[in-house]
Amino acid sequence: MSNIVKNFNDTTVGCVSSVDRFIDAEGRLSGEGAYVKYEMLLRDLETRVNTLVGLSGSFFAARKEVCTNWAIDLPSDFNVVINSVKTNLRGVLDHETVGYYANIADEKMEFARKVRTVVRGISVLMKNPQMLNFMRYGLFSWQLFSHKLCRWLVPFALVAALISNAVLIGYSRMYLYLFLCQSVFYALAAAGRWTNLVAKRDALKIPSFFVLVNMSILHAWFRYLRGERVMTWDPSRR
């Protein structure tokens, strides 16, 4: 606890996030393990350049003033950063504070968990659209757009790329090759999701996880636009 609290000696810091470490029971790389490493790299770079865009929901700390008008219907790990930036403070990553967690016990629950996460994240952004105003919030607006919103728009880009490639196959071999590459990637993702893999095939979990995440984002947008909201968080069993 003392490690994470000492960050508030810096008067520009409004909230502090722990580092996530993924533990595979068998000690092997998995899709989520690769994703967590990538996310932690982004957070490290964001801390150096300006501010975090999101915190680790499992463990973070925040100043009292950024927790005023607490929104019980919004995810605190995202909303606290928004509140910090609104008060001219920033969020940072504390490399000495580490949270360890294991893979979800039932992989079928992973899709539902990610849908809940994205629905709640979209809710925060939609309630704070002014945060995308570059003239007012500068670099943070770009971070919010690229780290959050662009990530949530990836599945639409993937669908558009696949359809446009299919339409353009007859115009150039390049489009045919691109379409074949996409088809192979999705086939590998399906294999990684629906088959029991031996150790040497564990790399298939990465495309499988990538597709799972983007399918969950699509579903989350559908649920949000349909008017559904996730008011409380129900942790998945790990």
Instruction: Please state, in angstroms and as integers, the Cα–Cα distance from residue 14 to each residue in 53, 105, 128, 231, following that order.
Output: 12, 34, 18, 25
pLDDT value of position 234: 59
List, as own/partner pairs, every contact residues 107-115 make where C-beta atoms lie below 8 angstroms and the sequence separation is at least 24, other chains included: 109/236, 109/237, 110/32, 110/212, 110/236, 111/212, 111/215, 111/216, 111/219, 112/236, 113/236, 114/212, 114/213, 114/216, 114/217, 114/220, 115/216, 115/219, 115/220, 115/223
Mean pLDDT by 10 residues, the chain (238 residues): 88 94 62 76 94 91 88 86 95 90 66 88 94 95 95 96 92 92 91 59 75 93 89 57
Q: pTM of this prediction?
A: 0.83
**Token reading at 149:** 């919103």
DSSP character string of 10-72:
STTEEEEEEEEEEE-TTS---HHHHHHHHHHHHHHHHHHHS--S---TTSEEE-GGGGTT--T
